[in-house]
Chain A
Amino acid sequence: MSSFAPETRNAEWFAAWIREHGRAVRGYLLGMVRRADLADDLTQEVFTRAWAARGRYREEGHGRAYLLKIADRLLCDERRQRAGDLTLEDADWRRCEPVSADGEPGSGISARETAAELTQALKQLPPAQRRVLLLRYYGQMTFAEIAKMTESPLGTVLSHCRRGLEALRRLLVDHLP
């Protein structure tokens, strides 16, 4: 992304930010809250806050990490307000399942089954493991950066990642041919 000095951070700069990071922020939020409508609302709130704080942001090439940090803080606030009631109904997840790309009936069923199994796996992942995996995927951050952002020890972050990956793999091996 081209750099902008604070005094030139205008709507154009912000639109570029949204184009570059909007989907990643929304994806992270959707993976965490597992509700599309809530994820959209929270994404809007993340960018609203980023716009309000644009004067304080220091351009260091970590725009996505900065936005994901806002999103993470927002999630913590939201979780506190809703007393942890941030879950996705099964019907919502089914709407997120992929459809067959090649149109073959067999592959379509297979894709849906795969998605259903993975969906179950993600649902079973504790939020802390999901958080680390999603930050790694969407933020493209190192584990040291994730540890710094979440204010967690590096060993804890690595442990969450390892257990999360093992849970996903275990589910695949157990349920898929």
Chain B
Amino acid sequence: MNDELPNLERRLEQATAPLCPEEALNDPQLAAWREGWLALEQLLESIEPPADWRPVQRVLPANISRAPRGASVVSALIAASLLVGLTVFGLYHTENSLSETGLGRHPIVQQHTPQNIPEETDLRWDDNWDEKLSALSTRLALVQGDGDVWTADYLNLRSRANALQQELENNAL
């Protein structure tokens, strides 16, 4: 068998060569192999890619995909910047609103804004916290009471001013 191997190799090389010598085809077996080879050639030529097939554009995916990846990173950075900007603007706007309503300046409000309230890590009934809430309610009532006092004083003064104006108009003074 080993002695036949070089002969078989030579004949198969001839049968599958681009050009087969005419005299080699006198060998019936070699001629049969040649027919099979030519049939294969015919099929493979028929499945060639189209003339405009360009593997270059499909190779080096790293170069092709670099641009979209860079664009997505830039987009993500812009989105993150916008998010931070909107958050800062929102916080600034909220603080100004509190200042305009006077709540932001009131000491009681400042004292009990969320960042000043001690964080509770455990959900349980807390008498101490209940006492703090009561104290806060009392102080709020006092502030409201102060407002009522101020309102009463203002109304009293306005009433007296109106009376003085009426007397001036009547030349009573």
* Complexed CA–CA distance, A126 and B95 (Å): 78
A67 to chain B, nearest CB (A): 11
Tell whether, in the assembled complex, residue B13 and residue A143 are in contact, meaning their CB atoms are under 8 Å apart. Answer: yes
Q: Residue B58 at the A interface, CB < 8 A?
A: yes
Q: Residue B56 at the A interface, CB < 8 A?
A: yes
Tell whether, in the assembled complex, residue A143 and residue B60 are in contact, meaning their CB atoms are under 8 Å apart. Answer: no
Tell whether, in the assembled complex, residue B39 and residue A172 are in contact, meaning their CB atoms are under 8 Å apart. Answer: yes
Tell whether, in the assembled complex, residue A165 and residue B41 are in contact, meaning their CB atoms are under 8 Å apart. Answer: no
Report the count of interface residues on B (CB-CB < 8 A): 33
A18 to chain B, nearest CB (A): 5
- Most chain A C-beta atoms within 10 Å of own C-beta, residue among B13, B15, B18: B13
Q: Residue B122 at the A interface, CB < 8 A?
A: no
Q: Mark B124-145, 1 if CB is under 8 A from A, else 0.
A: 0000000000000000000000
* Complexed CA–CA distance, A164 and B35 (Å): 12
Residues of B within 8 A of A164 (CB): 36
**If the complex has contacts A15-B56, A51-B59, are A168 and B12 also in contact, measured as CB distance less than 8 A?**
no
Residues of B within 8 A of A69 (CB): none
Segment of B44-52, B103-111, B162-170 in the binding face: B44-52
Interface residues of A in 1-45 (CB under 8 A from B): 14-15, 18-19, 22-23, 26-27, 30-31, 40, 43-44
B143 to chain A, nearest CB (A): 74
Tell whether, in the assembled complex, residue A27 and residue B58 are in contact, meaning their CB atoms are under 8 Å apart. Answer: no
Tell whether, in the assembled complex, residue B39 and residue A168 are in contact, meaning their CB atoms are under 8 Å apart. Answer: yes
Q: Residue B70 at the A interface, CB < 8 A?
A: no
Residues of B within 8 A of A57 (CB): none
Report the count of interface residues on A (CB-CB < 8 A): 46
Tell whether, in the assembled complex, residue B39 and residue A96 are in contact, meaning their CB atoms are under 8 Å apart. Answer: no
Residues of B within 8 A of A48 (CB): 59-62
Interface SS, A side: helix
Residues of B within 8 A of A19 (CB): 56
Q: Residue A114 at the B interface, CB < 8 A?
A: yes
Interface residues of B in 5-28 (CB under 8 A from A): 5, 8-9, 12-13, 15-16, 18
Residues of B within 8 A of A140 (CB): 18
Residues of B within 8 A of A40 (CB): 58
Q: Mark A128-172, 1 if CB is under 8 A from B, else 0.
A: 000001101110101110000000001100100110111111001
**If the complex has contacts A51-B59, A115-B43, A168-B36, are A158 and B49 also in contact, measured as CB distance less than 8 A?**
no
* Complexed CA–CA distance, A149 and B130 (Å): 85
Tell whether, in the assembled complex, residue B46 and residue A43 are in contact, meaning their CB atoms are under 8 Å apart. Answer: no
Tell whether, in the assembled complex, residue A158 and residue B8 are in contact, meaning their CB atoms are under 8 Å apart. Answer: yes
Tell whether, in the assembled complex, residue A44 and residue B58 are in contact, meaning their CB atoms are under 8 Å apart. Answer: yes
A119 to chain B, nearest CB (A): 7
B40 to chain A, nearest CB (A): 6
A48 to chain B, nearest CB (A): 6
Tell whether, in the assembled complex, residue B56 and residue A18 are in contact, meaning their CB atoms are under 8 Å apart. Answer: yes
Interface CB pairs A-B, < 8 A, 19 = A15-B56, A18-B55, A19-B56, A22-B56, A23-B49, A40-B58, A48-B62, A96-B47, A114-B42, A118-B40, A122-B40, A133-B40, A137-B16, A142-B13, A143-B13, A154-B9, A165-B36, A168-B35, A168-B39
What are the 8 A-B residue pairs with the smallest beta carbon separation, nearest first?
A: A98-B46, A169-B36, A168-B36, A165-B36, A22-B55, A96-B47, A47-B59, A118-B43
